[in-house]
Amino acid sequence: MSRSPHSRGRLGTLLFGIAEGVLLASLVVNLRNARDEDAFFRSLAAGATAGTASAEARLLALVHKTHTMLMPLRTGIADGSIVDVSGLAHYRNVLFGSVATPALYPGSECGSFSSLLVKLLKISGFPVRFVQMLDRDAPDGIAHHIIVEALVDGRWVVCDPLYDLVFRDADGRLLGFEEVHRDWPALKAQCPPQYDPRYDYAGVRRVNFGRFNAWLQRTPLAALSPRVWLNEGSWLRSGLVGCLLVAVIATHVWYERGDRAAAVVPVRRAAGPARPPVPVS
């Protein structure tokens, strides 16, 4: 037995209402989380950089803060005393992002360290970008280490929060990736004893989105690599959910208009006796 047009219309309205309610709730949660997340990282960065005067000193303080926050977790995950729950963030962030995800759901890999440092640097006013070291032995140029570049005093410098590491030349000047790559045989002596020798600055890829999609490097999208707005976490999700909510509402309005138009039945005049023709004078 087929449903009447009225029942189908009510069902469609109900489904649209449920979808709009879920999206609206998600938007509210993400906007609240975005505000709380910024406040959390702003407080964290302010505490780490208290008493520092120069931009370089603030940078080093934030690199050190990231390292000291996550290294105990990395050590605990490695020896089994801490359960790695970083995978939970991927499920929570589908619609409802968690507050301060990198800090609440850290993993033990270099990407977790770099993600946290990026947030601290950005909230402190540093332009930043993710950097991937390319594996010279991989035929497709797959990256095997993720670090961060920050713009300090007009120059991009590399920061490796996993090892609490920056590089300096003989004059004490912080160095960028290309400079480290050029002088790696001499500069590798600045690495700590536990440094992985595979991370030898052989090559680099800079893209702040789709970091593991090599084909993006061959598209015009790669030109956007210095921009970091796609790493804004809850703010990005808020924008996406907001756009989806607008699209669903627009579809709902279009659906309701079509449903009402289909429900309109033309009124026909009842048949009566034929009227005699009016004589023409």
How are strands ordered across the β-sheet holding 155-159? 155-159, 143-152, 128-134, 204-205
Percent of the chain scored above 90 by pLDDT?
A: 25
What mean pLDDT do residues 189-214 have?
A: 75
Q: Tell me, what's the pLDDT at 95?
A: 45
Across 113-138, average pLDDT: 83
Q: What is the mean pLDDT of residues 247-254?
A: 89
HEC per residue, 26-90:
HHHHHHHHHHHHHHHHHHHHHHHHCCCCCHHHHHHHHHHHHHHHHHHHHHHHHHCCCCCCCCHHH
Q: What percent of the chain clears pLDDT 70, i.e. is strictly above it?
A: 64
pTM (global) more than 0.75: no
Q: For residue 265, what pLDDT is reported?
A: 52
Mean pLDDT of all residues belonging to the chain: 76
pLDDT at residue number 132:
82
Distance between CA 160 and CA 200 in Å, rounded? 12
The pLDDT of residue 164 is 95
> Over 70: is that where the pLDDT of 6 sits?
no
Q: Distances in Å between the alpha carbon of 252 and those of 55, 97, 226?
A: 51, 26, 39
Q: Which residue has the higher pLDDT, 133 or 98?
A: 133
Q: Compare 141 and 213 and report the one with higher pLDDT.
A: 141
pLDDT tens figures, 21-75: 988 988 888 788 778 878 888 898 999 999 998 999 999 999 999 999 888 776 7
Q: What is the pLDDT of residue 269?
A: 56
Cα distances (Å, whole numbers) of residue 106 to 60, 235, 254: 21, 19, 44
